[in-house]
C-alpha cells in the first residue's frame, strides 16, 4: 500500500511539472514545447533541493523500464519513409556529419577563448 502511495505521489509531481508547463506555454505564448519547459522546471526543483530525487524514483523506474516501447513509433516512421530516406541519403549523411562537426568546432573555439581570458 505504501509503495502504491509513493508511486502516485511521484507521478503527481511529474504531472504537476508537465501541466504547469503546459499552462505557462499556453498563457504566455512561450514558443517552446511544454515537455521541455517541464524538464526545465524539474531541473530547477531538483537543483534547488525542493524535490529530492528519491521522491521521483517510484514513478521513474517503471517508465525507464519500458522506455524502449516509446521508440517503436519512430522506428515504424523510418520504415514507412524508407523510399524518401534512400532518395535523400546524401543530404542526410552530410547533415549528420557537418552539423555536429560545426558544433564541436564552435565549442572548441569558445572554450579556447575562455581559457585564454582566464
* pLDDT one-digit tens code per residue, 59-80: 999 888 988 888 888 889 889 9
Q: Which residue ranges make up each domain of the chain?
A: 1-65, 81-118
| pLDDT for residue 118 | 60
Evaluate whether 15 touches 9 at the Cβ level (below 8 Å). Answer: no
* Confidence label for 107 from pLDDT (cuts 50, 70 and 90): very high
User: Read out DSSP for 26-58?
Assistant: HHTT-SS-HHHHHHHHHHHHHHTTSS-HHHHHH
* 114 or 48: which leads in pLDDT: 48
| Sequence-separated (6 or more) residues with CB below 8 Å from residue 44 | none
* Confidence label for 117 from pLDDT (cuts 50, 70 and 90): low
* Percent of all residues in the chain with a pLDDT value above 90, rounded to a whole number: 73
* pLDDT one-digit tens code per residue, 25-51: 999 998 999 999 999 999 999 999 999
What pTM value is reported for the model? 0.61
Q: What is the CA radius of gyration of the chain?
A: 21
Evaluate whether 14 touches 56 at the Cβ level (below 8 Å). Answer: yes
Residue 95 pLDDT greater than 80, yes or no: yes
Evaluate whether 15 touches 8 at the Cβ level (below 8 Å). Answer: no
Amino acid at each position: 500500500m505504501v509503495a502504491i502511495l509513493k508511486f502516485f505521489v511521484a507521478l503527481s509531481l511529474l504531472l504537476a511539472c508537465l501541466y504547469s508547463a503546459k499552462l505557462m506555454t499556453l498563457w504566455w505564448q512561450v514558443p517552446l514545447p511544454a515537455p521541455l519547459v517541464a524538464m526545465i522546471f524539474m531541473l530547477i526543483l531538483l537543483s534547488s533541493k525542493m524535490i529530492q530525487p528519491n521522491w521521483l524514483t517510484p514513478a521513474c523506474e517503471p517508465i525507464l523500464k519500458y522506455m524502449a516501447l516509446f521508440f517503436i513509433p519512430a522506428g515504424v516512421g523510418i520504415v514507412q519513409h524508407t523510399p524518401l530516406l534512400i532518395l535523400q541519403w546524401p543530404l542526410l549523411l552530410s547533415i549528420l556529419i557537418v552539423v555536429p562537426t560545426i558544433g564541436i568546432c564552435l565549442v572548441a573555439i569558445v572554450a579556447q577563448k575562455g581559457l585564454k581570458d582566464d
